[in-house]
A and B are shown apart, each in its own frame.
Chain A
């Protein structure tokens, strides 16, 4: 049992989603909502879309939408404060802000490549830093970080996105170790190809999954106190093999 969530049944009273319009993030929020959930905060860049997401959440709780642009790293501490203003203690926070982007576009626009790293890595790391300090202070809390198998071994045709997730994943794993014994727990989620808005138009890779499955497995992993969850679970073994693959074979591997 992880020590979090201010209720004997393991239900969160307050949930914060950073990246408030993320399809997977919202599914995780849905899977976490129980009759005792009182407040949900969606922090997102596009508050109009965020409000639509808020309206689509079922439950007897208050949902607030606050503006947050992951690219604006100067406001990271402020956004955590703003969320805390709304919920008092943050029981569970989900870090889901990310953009996939297209490698060809990045090749043509180096600034866009750097910008993707800011949105996917720098912004989330800044928020995670502020958030983990706040949760250590409150003595409890659960953090869920949406990583990706793309960061486990970065592929050349997806190298910007892969590198951004590799950075976030590495940081999150190390942060989880740092949080050991503080009352705060952190789970890193490594989904494979997830069908949905983000991947619309690309053909599914092997072991594709969907946001609902990611959410269900994430909530289960959190309840069990797991530091890492692969979705689907078989990817853990697939990547154990892929990481051992000699580079000469890896670079020829098509997805």
Chain B
């Protein structure tokens, strides 16, 4: 094992850099030694660095990257056994040709299996299939003592659920077994609708999303007033063979991970995305969508991971980086979504990516983010006024009984997350049992005081 490089790292939002000893770990023994050597600043696991905020950073402490990434696919049952460090990208490359798809994918396939579980990621099918925790068979993890344990719904189910959405603070996930979903083709059949204001957009999702496996809306953050919340909703289903044009039926599961073109490094040092560019983009994006279109066949990457085509797109937001704020508010509080959008639009940020979706049932994870409700995600570049915008948004979230997504959070406070995560104390009790000496720590954990008590 190398002794680790002391280096400054950030999350995907490129904010809050901090210095840590970054160690690549090859084996369980190496991992155990790294844990034994940890001082009071502790250890955190890091995957591909796609958490927006400081979840996978540990200033002054150790940050561990697991190098093993092997994946075993049982093509008969669709159960995969993947190393914590394996990426969803490599998982898809192995399983799609065999007719299996991940039960849940976030908006990027460049996340690790371990990271996806630690954040209990959700996708466009949450209203129907829940988050990744719903699909786990079991987890093999190393806890603070260095012991390797296998946990599932029977064996230490408390630790199992505390780890799902536990942001890496209960232990490090070495392997996970995950039940995949069967697909006939590598295409998605998409229905697109353009709606000229928020009420129509939400009404469409309320009445239609149950009929589709996938449903998500892009919301225009550049217009207010009567056009507030105008957007494009897309519904999707995995296409069946008979939906494909006859020429493609001979290789229905053809899939390759598309080539990624990176945004050059210098873009992160120049003037960030301009508001005028963002407004023009939003207008174009809205206009180019059809009023309504059905049965369009698109590829898996373009439907699920559109931003992955542009590598390191986080550089576009300039030297100060950006935050992605995601919250969920109860289904009976659509006004909260409107209020947050109004607040964002009022500041006129250079904002292009806003996503709205209805969540279905949550799971038993005490820190798992999704719960029935509307989830709204907004990207905002960091400016001097951002702190005030966020305070107002957090007030709205709190008033309506909502909560923040910890995997994206970079700005909440220990106060503002406590009203949303009412089962935090329960999670802390599990953590204190498996990690009494507080080996697992992160900047996020310290900032939000998650590990107290």
From the candidates A34, A38, A89, A139, name the one contacting B387 in the complex (CB within 8 A): A34
Q: Is the CB of B60 within 8 A of A1?
A: no
Q: Are B413 and A8 in contact (CB under 8 A)?
A: no
Q: CB distance B413 to A3 under 8 Å?
A: no
In the assembled complex, B414 has its CB within 8 A of some CB on chain A: yes
CB atoms of A11 and B19 under 8 A apart? no
In the complex, chain A residues 99-144 whose Cβ is within 8 Å of any chain B Cβ = 136-140
Answer yes or no: A26 CB below 8 A from chain B CBs: no
Query: Could you tell me the distance between the alpha carbons of A183 and B54 in the complex, rounded to whole angstroms?
Result: 15
Indicate if A93 sits at the interface (CB-CB under 8 A): no
Q: Is the CB of B413 within 8 A of A13?
A: yes
| Interface set, chain A 1-23, CB cutoff 8 A to B | 1, 3, 5-11, 13
State how many angstroms separate the Cβ of A189 from the closest Cβ of chain B.
21
Q: A1-B320, A34-B387 are in contact. Are A8 and B19 (CB under 8 A)?
A: no
Q: B290 to chain A: closest CB distance in Å?
A: 37
- Are B61 and A139 in contact, with the CB atoms below 8 A? yes
**Inter-subunit contact A38/B59 (CB<8 Å):** no
Chain A 182-241 interface residues, beta-carbon cutoff 8 Å to B: 182-183
A138 in complex: contacting residue of B16, B41, B382, B386, CB < 8 Å: B41
Q: Are A7 and B382 in contact (CB under 8 A)?
A: no
A-facing mask of B32-48, CB < 8 A → 1, else 0?
Answer: 00000000010000000
User: CB of B443 within 8 A of chain A?
Assistant: yes
Report if A36 contacts B (CB, 8 A): yes
Query: In the bound complex, how far is the Cα of B15 from the Cα of A6, in angstroms?
Result: 9
Asked if A246 CB lies within 8 Å of chain B CBs, one says no
Inter-chain contact A140/B59, CB cutoff 8 Å:
yes
Judging by beta carbons under 8 Å apart, are A9 and B61 in contact?
no
Query: Is A8's CB under 8 angstroms from B15's CB?
Result: yes
Min Cβ gap B333→A in Å is 22
**A88 interface residue (CB < 8 Å to B):** yes
Q: Is the CB of A183 within 8 A of B16?
A: no
Q: A8-B323, A140-B18 are in contact. Are A183 and B387 (CB under 8 A)?
A: no
Distance in angstroms from B386 CB to nearest chain A CB is: 5
| CB < 8 Å neighbour of B443 from A1, A6, A10 | A6
- Is there a chain A Cβ closer than 8 Å to B249's Cβ? no
Assess whether B390 is in contact with A3, with CB atoms less than 8 Å apart: no
CB pair B382 A38 closer than 8 Å = no
Pair B415/A38 contact, Cβ less than 8 Å: yes
Docked complex Cα distance between A33 and B178 (Å):
46
Q: A38-B415, A139-B18 are in contact. Are A6 and B446 (CB under 8 A)?
A: yes
Q: Across the interface, do B387 and A9 meet the contact criterion of CB distance under 8 Å?
A: yes
A1 to B13 CA separation, bound complex (whole angstroms): 14
Q: How far is the CA of A182 from the CA of B20 in the complex (A)?
A: 10
Q: Which residues of A contact B1 (CB under 8 A)?
A: none
The answer to whether A6 and B54 touch across the interface, beta carbons within 8 angstroms, is: yes
B391 contacts partner chain A, Cβ-Cβ < 8 Å: yes
With A13-B413, A13-B447, A36-B413 already in contact, the answer to whether A6 and B16 are too (CB < 8 A) is yes
Q: For residue A50, give the distance in angstroms from its CB to the closest CB of chain B.
A: 25
What distance in Å separates the Cβ of A89 from its nearest Cβ neighbour in chain B? Answer: 6
Contact partners of B387 in chain A: CB under 8 A: 9, 11, 34-36
What residues of A have a CB within 8 angstroms of the CB of B13 in the complex?
A: 8
Most chain A beta-carbon neighbours within 10 Å: one of B8, B61, B323, B449: B8
Taking a contact as CB atoms under 8 Å apart, the answer to whether B411 and A7 are in contact is yes
CB <8 Å contact, A183 and B59: yes
Contact B411–A8 (Cβ < 8 Å): yes
Nearest 3 interchain pairs by C-beta = A139-B60, A139-B59, A8-B15
> Which residue numbers of B lie inside 8 Å of A, CB to CB?
8, 13, 15-20, 41, 53-54, 58-61, 319-321, 323, 382, 386-388, 390-391, 410-411, 413-415, 443, 446-447, 449
Given contacts A6-B59, A6-B443, A139-B61, could you give 6 more A-B pairs where the C-beta distance is less than 8 Å?
A3-B18, A7-B410, A9-B323, A35-B390, A138-B41, A139-B20
Instruction: List 21 A–B pairs whose Cβ atoms lie within 8 Å, in order of A's numbering.
Output: A1-B319, A7-B16, A7-B410, A8-B15, A8-B53, A8-B54, A9-B382, A9-B390, A10-B382, A11-B387, A35-B388, A35-B391, A36-B413, A88-B446, A89-B59, A137-B41, A138-B60, A139-B19, A139-B59, A139-B61, A140-B59
